[in-house]
Structure 1
């Protein structure tokens, strides 16, 4: 017995499971014990279960609104297999980013080729994200991770010069309610939301001992490279929504059962009163 208690005290997983089970049993069992002594075993259990489902429905509603509690997958950018890092402008058409090939050749300057890509993207409905927008910084970080994973650049060898996204991004998730789509708590379905990040390499800097490092400068002669990503909007509120909907349905069914029982009791009492009268 002593060895068993020591094992329970030492194993954190087992101790945590037992703590949750005992806490739930004491919490729900004590309420059921009080209701059972006053209403009877079956009716007390039905009332206790109804109250539990109502409490879970309220808790799930709060989780659903604020995105807390039991969470799903958070939004993040993901790679597109085989098309994440595009190192040549001509490959943008082959990767499916552009509808038509860009009219550039080997003699076209890197800046002119980047401007041609920008013009064609804007004509296809893409919009350039401002550097001050939060989406720019988030896409910049994700693009840097993908570039380093693919071995295209090392940290500190490149600069993100532009970020493009499909315009407007508000239509990517649905359904949304309200005149302007303000209520998006039910927007569980969404279309693929693509982002294109333009990257420019730095010039090779000469490092001298004892001197402060020189600020990196973009190499205008090197062609731009692109990172093609898809934005996964995740499922942050889906678990809370399922809990809320399921517990609300069970709460309504249990309330109907209690109402049905009250009607039977009232009819039986009325019939008994007529027979005695």
Structure 2
């Protein structure tokens, strides 16, 4: 009885239903066309004609898949971790990563904000709430809010600053750190997600959950030329043409940095405190390479294979017609 219950709990219904739907559609659509052809042309000719039509349709469908990267596609582009460096990038296994300065060798994001005088940067990361803006708060609550805001300002990352005031980080030279350039948080989401997954998969690093560390900055090098800031229509068109015409894909690397945070007690029912990095812990740098995948390989093979079979079947039909015409001519000659 227990075995029957186990078998009954297996969720095979979606798989069986999908197979039956595809098989039924194939049999009804293709079978109906084949049946009509059989009644007019015979089994052999009808089979050749139906198969040629199917392969021609598959070639057209595959070409659409090939152009748009849809349908039965391959693996999407992903980030692959090649090195996880702890503490000193100068000891990284990737030679290019050794050219990237360590975080303590660069000014902090808050220092850049204070020294820049940029209106946008100062408004976002160097301004504290006032009593006039919060008339409903008492003195203690306002002081607590100001302390939390100041903590946020002092712990912002360079990537967070770049997403708000790119000019500040560019003026500090973070756009050209040798071959590397700073990525804004809006540009590094997928790389940070992959870095987090890989870090959690390594128990030797001591991170049990994303709450144990804070994502810092992300840097990238290589790849196709990027579209410049604030592009106009001509810039977009020329970039699209040059990028599409480029046959090779330069190797692209990205470094995502993170650091362990201080343990803070959380009162029951209270909001979690703002994470603060532990200055005594080393910075972990996850070095990744861009794997472009093979999204269009399967559609390309379907298109080319279907087209070749279509040509072979058409040639077969052509040979059959020539043979039929020759026999008809021979019959007419003998009859005359």
TM over 0.5: yes
Alignment of 1:200-211 (within 5 A): 200-205=259-264, 207=266
Contact 1:111 1:220 in 2 (8 A): no
CA deviation map 1:234-273 (0-9, x unaligned):
2222221111110011111111222233333334444444
Whole-angstrom distance in 1 between the partners of 2:213 and 2:21: 52
Any idea what SS the aligned residue of 1:180 has?
helix
Contact 1:114 1:224 in 2 (8 A): no
Are residues 1:247 and 2:302 paired? no
Question: Which sections of structure 2, spanning at least 5 residues, go unmatched?
Answer: 1-7, 109-171, 227-239
Stretch moving more, 44-53 or 220-229:
220-229
Contact 2:223 2:252 in 1 (8 A): no
Are residues 1:128 and 2:128 paired? no
Whole-angstrom distance in 2 between the partners of 1:132 and 1:23: 44
Q: Aligned residue pairs: how many?
A: 247
Contact 1:197 1:228 in 2 (8 A): yes
Are residues 1:147 and 2:209 paired? no
Contact 2:255 2:288 in 1 (8 A): yes
Alignment of 1:14-163 (within 5 A): 17-18=19-20, 20-80=22-82, 83=83, 85-89=84-88, 92-98=90-96, 111-112=104-105, 122=176, 125-133=179-187, 136-151=188-203, 152=205, 153=207, 154-163=209-218
Question: Which sections of structure 1, spanning at least 5 residues, go unmatched?
Answer: 1-6, 105-109, 172-177
Give 1:123 shift: 5.7
Are residues 1:257 and 2:316 paired? yes
Contact 2:222 2:250 in 1 (8 A): no
Give 1:22 shift: 4.5
Whole-angstrom distance in 2 between the partners of 1:97 and 1:225: 17
CA deviation map 1:203-226 (0-9, x unaligned):
444545676544233445644220
Whole-angstrom distance in 2 between the partners of 1:247 and 1:181: 29
Instruction: Give the alignment's TM-score, normalised by structure 1.
Output: 0.71
Aligned in 2, Cα 1:35/1:206: closer, same or farther, shift over 3 Å?
A: closer
Aligned in 2, Cα 1:264/1:11: closer, same or farther, shift over 3 Å?
A: same
Contact 1:73 1:236 in 2 (8 A): yes
CA deviation map 1:125-171 (0-9, x unaligned):
233222222xx111111111222222333422333222122223469
Give 1:124 shift: 5.1
Query: How well do the aligned residues superpose, as a CA RMSD in angstroms?
Result: 3.8
Any idea what SS the aligned residue of 1:47 has?
helix
